[in-house]
Amino acid sequence: MQALMDLLNQTQTAVAVIGLVALLLYEHAHPFFDFFKDSGKQRWKHLLRNASLGIVNAAITSFLFVGIWLWASNWANTNDFGILNWLALPSWAHVFGAVLLMDTWTYFWHVMNHRIPFFWKFHRVHHSDPNMDVTTANRFHTGEIIFSSIFRTGIIVLIGLHIWELLVYEILLIIVVQFHHANIGVPEKLDRFLRMFIVTPAMHKVHHSRKQSETDSNYSSLFSFWDRICKTFNLNNDPHSIHIGLDEFDSEEDQKVKGLFWMPFKKTDK
């Protein structure tokens, strides 16, 4: 089991790094929006700022929560507690159910981050990026990561999740989240096919729109069908017209690392 855990951890890291580099190169060659057309320096600033949040969050998660999640998983499975254990599923169905139920939680957690003002204060750090690209997938306030991690502990117990199943889910999630945040365009027919199953760039660009009716839609992170089931699915027929970001956080100070960390505590009209 430890060998499997080590392999999955290494795979998760490799997938994140390879995906980031590959999508950065593709964005540079074929950007959907010309955010950094005239300034390579601004592109590097943007990358480093978003990466800074990602590194801090990864460190906090590793040091504070991975051990807690492992304990929660061991407790649930030792005591046959949790939905998947109560159903006494075969191994393959247990894995499938784990991924499906974790993604169900991720959908509703995302909705909560938009509809509960306290959580929105932290989540708006992610939405305030006016130059959304693959690095935006790492741009989350540490407060949001901490709250998410605390809730996740209870979800692991409730589901009866094996810790390696959580890693499998995280690997799938990383691939899709990097893909749909990337500043790329996917041919319409291919995007239409993919979004029957997973979240695509065409879907997620709408979610990062400054228009409230678009921002409050397309909450799915991995599987796209949650938005259809919950009637939050939305598309813009002219994605080039979408204006990314949040109006109240366009200043240079807000976009600096210090500004991003202080953003939840800044008073706004919303």
Residue 269 is predicted with a pLDDT of: 60
Query: Tokens 């955010």 appear where?
Result: 35
pLDDT of residue 27: 94
244 φ, ψ (degrees, to nearest 5): -80, 145
pLDDT value, residue 47: 96
pLDDT at 4: 67
Instruction: Report whether pLDDT(41) > 90.
Output: no
pLDDT at 179: 98
User: For 198, phi and psi rounded to 5 degrees?
Assistant: -125, 165
User: Phi, psi (5° rounding) for residue 269?
Assistant: -75, -20
Q: Give SS3 for 144.
A: helix
What pLDDT is recorded for position 133?
Answer: 97
Single-letter amino acid code for the residue at 164: W
Give the C-alpha separation, 20 to 8, whole Å: 18
What letter represents residue 138's amino acid? N
Residue 268 has pLDDT above 90, yes or no: no
pLDDT for the residue 1: 63
Tokens of 28: 């540079």
Contact between 139 and 145 (Cβ < 8 Å): no
DSSP β-bridge partners for residue 209: 244
pTM to 2 decimals? 0.94
Do residues 207 and 126 make contact, with C-beta atoms less than 8 angstroms apart?
Answer: no
Q: pLDDT digit string (tens) for 191-240?
A: 999 999 999 999 999 999 999 999 999 999 999 999 999 999 999 999 99
Distance (Å, whole) CA 4 – CA 189: 38
- Average pLDDT over the chain, rounded to an integer: 94
Question: For residue 270, is pLDDT > 60?
Answer: no
pLDDT, one tens digit per residue, over 54-86 is 999 999 999 999 999 999 999 999 999 999 999
Residue 250 pLDDT greater than 90, yes or no? yes
Model confidence at 180: pLDDT above 60: yes
Say yes or no to pLDDT of 187 above 80. Answer: yes
pLDDT by residue (tens digit) across 88-116? 889 999 999 999 999 999 999 999 999 99
What does each C-alpha distance from 230 to 69, 218, 222 come to in angstroms?
Answer: 29, 10, 15
pLDDT band at 6 (very low <50, low <70, confident <90, very high): confident
- pLDDT, tens digit (0-9, with 9 covering 90-100), for 119-156: 999 999 999 999 999 999 999 999 999 999 999 999 99
3-state secondary structure of 140: coil
Whole-number pLDDT of residue 14: 92
User: Among all chains, which residue has been given the structure tokens 């130059």?
Assistant: 131
